[in-house]
Amino acid sequence: MSIDDVSLISGPSSSDLANKIATHLGVKPISAEVCIFTDGESKIRLPHFENKTCVIVQSTYPPTDRHLLQAMMMIRKCSETDCTNIIAVIPYLAYARQDREFLPGEVVTMSVIARLLESVGVKHLITVDAHSTASLSHFRISVHNVSSIPLFAKYAEEMLDLEKPVVVSPDLGGASRAATLASILKTDFIALNKNRDRSTGEVKIDTDEPRYQFGNKDVIILDDIISTGDSIVKAYEAIRRFGSTGKIIVMCTHALLINNATQKIINAGVDKIVATNSIPNNFSTIDLSPIICSPLQSAMSMH
């Protein structure tokens, strides 16, 4: 497939990342024209294009529903042309945490999102560090879940002055991520025992038994999503309670940082926050475009 037969649409939530992906691919991005009306409705216009493959880059961070609907609007417009291969690049895939019925009567929203994206014409989905593989099982199309761990490892080795830092997951669910990063860095990892009340959202971490002798070793707290910052603060406090006296760095793929989350984390004493550009903010120092382009080129070659 010729790169000349590819249109890359830069969604309003991910223009910088889309531009970086376009540079890697050697294509000129097409910017979506967006108008937000006073009632909150979005209107989107795409310039005319006739290519067979269409790539839409749009993360679905807050305002989540707006960004999600905008993505579907752009995808639908592509499907109304002669495009035969529509690829959605959604680095932060909203609703991935609603992948099952945790409490009786809950809607499995990820299943709804999967049907919606399929219905507007998506053939391939590329996302980054989806919250759970179970969330991706709801899709009937080709899905590629990219890991950002190699980029975090490279950043830690080249940009952080840490000597064999201990990698910590704030919960047991993130143990495999922490193990992967620790393996690349040739160091230790642990996963804390976190519990979240499904009704109130309150976070608690078991600190009855010391899980590691930290001493003066530096620590990397690794998470996929930081939303309110409560889990990171609780993890930081637990690590200090376990005797850590070294630096504590937070690394996360998707830094939502809702409301005063940043201030809470900084006030707790965290030395540095490092995130990817799946969500543009002051901490998105790691560029995802190099690891997105490989699966994207594979998807582009499929018709």
Positions annotated as catalytic residues are 194
Please state the length of the chain: 303
Q: Let me know: does 169 contact 222? Beta carbons within 8 Å.
A: yes
Q: DSSP letters along 235-247, please?
A: HHHHHHHTT--S-
Closest to 217 (Cα-Cα) out of 167, 176, 181: 167
Closest to 249 (Cα-Cα) out of 187, 159, 177: 159
Closest to 129 (Cα-Cα) out of 57, 225, 56, 61: 225
Q: Let me know: does 253 contact 148? Beta carbons within 8 Å.
A: yes
**Helix/strand/coil for 19:** helix
**Is the backbone peptide bond immediately before 62 cis, with ω within 30 degrees of 0?**
no
Own/partner long-range contacts of 68-74 (Cβ < 8 Å, ≥24 apart): 68/94, 68/113, 69/42, 70/11, 70/12, 70/13, 70/32, 70/34, 70/42, 70/44, 71/11, 71/117, 72/116, 72/117, 72/120, 73/42, 73/44, 74/9, 74/11, 74/32, 74/44, 74/46
In angstroms and rounded to an integer, the radius of gyration of the C-alpha atoms of the chain is 20
